[in-house]
């Protein structure tokens, strides 16, 4: 064990790593409830997505643990699942099979980038403030979705949106669940999102809004409904190039940023550099590709891994422990299905995760007009157009234009001009 994970070298022990893995698991296990709940709204089979979510997480996390020896968990990313279901499928009018095809193509490109140094060039081409704006915009987008699912915000024929009827049982329960999760969060309870879900579920049962399943444990079934259903040809016939680029771009820099942050917290960076980064990025790339084949949206490194690092996790044994616990959840699909079917149970997680993501706006350079206005449009257009790709596209087109107007065109990376042209073509001539 020590020889494989180098426990002594990193100043840790089996007991500490197992505790860290358990901690990480409870902070991120909410995704096995939320992800199938979101993707099932795109017409996908709940049980199939449930199994795909867990297996894709296992594939990516175990590669991360065994190939790079990092205490980082991989799972389907929040925001990307909402983009998949509500923008690409519902908003774009394409089938979920075609959307899975776009995820698979993005995953293959990600694998190729992970094996070359071009990934750094791609990341360096995008100004840091625009990266933060994308993260913040996604956060606002999924918060918006959470509020809609809970009917806290509803459609209005005159103003497009308005406040819903807060006394409706499901809406009221959502507010109660949100307050419970915020209280747990303020007291820094480990796994506060998951614990909040369980408490809300108990309240829902007392309110008569939740019916317990006949059985709690069952053998995992249903993967055939989503596995190997990708429509790759449809990706190109529908011209979903911006969708592919959006999946790729967000997964790449979100994963890179998360891994750097967790590695720095664990003291694993060397001279400010991220050793074995190729294997770490490859873990997410393979996880994304495997997830597409199984039936789920792109995977990403989870910032919740920092919870395990905070209690001493320093090696891949932390990730392996979390993987074992994730594998055990495969047998609890009946109870997971009931929890995911209640909007009041899942909506608070969407709202809070969105809040955590939008907090990065403080890192945007607000005194740099050429950067900050495109960043502003990225943030506001994602929820207003119900499309992450549209928000990114408008911001990416406007940024080099403003730089050129101000005579600073040389400050724009050459690759970024290519991004701008591609997004212009996509927005002007293709479905988006």
Question: Above 90 in pLDDT, residue 320?
Answer: yes
The confidence score (pLDDT) of residue 3 equals 67
Whether residue 362 is contained in a domain is answered as no
Which structure tokens are listed for 361? Answer: 């706006």
Q: How many residues does the chain have?
A: 432
Cβ-contact 196, 184 below 8 angstroms: yes
Tracing tokens 């625009």 back to the chain, one arrives at: 130
In a 13 Å sphere around the CA of 46, the CA atoms on its Cβ side amount to 14
- CB-CB contact of 209 with 173 (8 Å): yes
Exposed/middle/buried for 66, CB within 10 Å: 0-12, 13-18, 19+?
A: middle
| Residue 345 CB neighbour total at 10 angstroms | 29
- Residue 250's nearest CA partner among 328, 371, 142, 177 is 142
For residue 84, being part of any structural domain is answered with: yes
Closest CA to 339 of 72, 46, 117, 140: 46
pLDDT for the residue 41: 92
Residue 282 pLDDT > 70: yes
Whether 398 contacts 374, CB under 8 Å: yes
The predicted model gives 23-37 an average pLDDT of 90
* Percent of the chain residues past pLDDT 70, beyond the cut: 97
- Given the structure tokens 């991360």, which residue do they identify? 64
3-state helix, strand, coil in the chain (%, to 5): 70, 5, 25
Whether the Cβ atoms of residue 391 and residue 378 lie closer than 8 Å to each other: yes
Give the separation between CA 272 and CA 294, rounded to whole angstroms: 36
Domain region containing 312? 2-356+368-429
Taking each continuous run of H as one helix and of E as one strand, the counts in the chain are: 20, 4
74 pLDDT more than 90:
yes
Q: What is the DSSP letter of 161?
A: E
- Best CA proximity match to 101, nearest among 114, 84, 116: 84
pLDDT at 279 over 90: no
> What are the backbone dihedrals phi and psi of residue 121, each rounded to the nearest 5 degrees, phi first?
-65, -40
Confidence at residue 379, expressed as pLDDT on a 0 to 100 scale: 93
What is the spatial distance between Cα 357 and Cα 52, in angstroms, rounded to a whole number? 25
Whether the Cβ atoms of residue 163 and residue 157 lie closer than 8 Å to each other:
no
Question: What is the DSSP secondary structure assignment for residue 218, as one 8-state letter?
Answer: -
What is the percentage of the chain residues whose pLDDT exceeds 90?
41
> Highest-confidence range of 3-12, 98-107, 205-214, 400-409, by mean pLDDT?
98-107
Residue 95, classed as helix, strand or coil, is coil
Please state the rounded mean pLDDT for residues 210-216.
Answer: 84
Among 132, 141, 119, residue whose Cα is nearest residue 371: 132
Mean pLDDT of 103-116: 91
**What sign results for the dihedral spanned by CA atoms 121, 122, 123, 126?**
positive
- At which residue do the structure tokens 């002007």 appear? 428
97 in a domain, yes or no? yes
Query: Is residue 310 a contact partner of residue 265, using CB atoms and an 8 Å limit?
Result: yes
Chain-wide mean pLDDT for the chain? 88
Phi-psi region of 340 (alpha: psi -120 to 50; beta: other; left: phi over 0): alpha
Residue 363 lies in a domain: no
Query: Is residue 361 situated within a structural domain?
Result: no
pTM metric for this prediction: 0.84
Q: How many domains does the chain have?
A: 1
């Amino acid at each position: 064990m020590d020889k494989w994970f180098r426990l002594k070298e990193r100043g840790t022990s089996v007991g500490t790593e197992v505790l860290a893995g358990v901690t990480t698991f409870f902070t991120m296990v909410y995704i096995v409830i939320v992800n199938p709940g979101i993707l099932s709204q795109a017409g996908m089979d709940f049980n199939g997505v449930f199994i795909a979510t867990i297996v894709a997480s296992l594939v990516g996390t175990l590669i991360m643990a065994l190939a790079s020896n990092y205490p980082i968990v991989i799972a389907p990313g929040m925001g990307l699942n909402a983009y998949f279901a509500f923008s690409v499928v519902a908003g774009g009018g394409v089938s979920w099979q075609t959307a899975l095809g776009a995820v698979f193509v993005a995953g293959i490109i990600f694998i190729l980038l992970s094996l070359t140094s071009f990934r750094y060039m791609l990341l360096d081409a995008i100004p840091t403030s625009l990266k933060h704006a994308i993260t913040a915009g996604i956060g606002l987008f999924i918060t918006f979705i959470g509020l809609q699912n809970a009917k806290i915000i509803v459609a209005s024929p005159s103003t497009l949106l308005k406040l819903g009827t807060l006394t409706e049982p499901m809406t009221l329960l959502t507010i109660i669940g949100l307050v419970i999760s915020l209280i747990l969060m303020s007291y820094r309870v480990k796994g506060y999102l998951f614990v909040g879900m369980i408490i809300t579920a108990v309240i829902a049962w007392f309110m008569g809004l939740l019916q317990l399943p006949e059985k709690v444990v069952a053998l995992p079934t249903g993967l055939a409904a989503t596995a190997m259903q990708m429509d790759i040809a449809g990706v190109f016939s529908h011209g979903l190039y911006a969708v592919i680029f959006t999946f790729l771009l967000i997964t790449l820099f979100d994963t890179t940023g998360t891994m750097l942050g967790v590695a720095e917290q664990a003291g694993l960076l060397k001279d400010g550099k991220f050793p074995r980064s190729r294997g770490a990025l490859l873990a997410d790339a393979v996880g994304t590709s495997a997830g597409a084949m199984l039936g789920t949206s792109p995977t990403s490194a989870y910032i919740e891994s920092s919870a395990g690092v905070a209690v001493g996790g320093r090696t891949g044994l932390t990730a392996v422990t979390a993987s074992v616990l994730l594998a055990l959840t495969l047998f609890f699909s009946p109870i997971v299905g009931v929890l995911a079917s209640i909007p009041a149970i899942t909506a608070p997680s969407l709202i809070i995760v969105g809040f955590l993501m939008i907090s990065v706006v403080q890192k945007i350079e607000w005194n740099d007009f050429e950067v900050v206005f495109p960043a502003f449009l990225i943030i506001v257009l994602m929820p207003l157009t119900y499309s992450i790709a549209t928000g990114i596209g408008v911001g990416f087109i406007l940024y080099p234009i403003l730089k050129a107007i101000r005579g600073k065109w040389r400050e724009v990376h050459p690759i970024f001009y290519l991004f701008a042209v591609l997004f212009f073509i996509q927005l002007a001539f293709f479905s988006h």
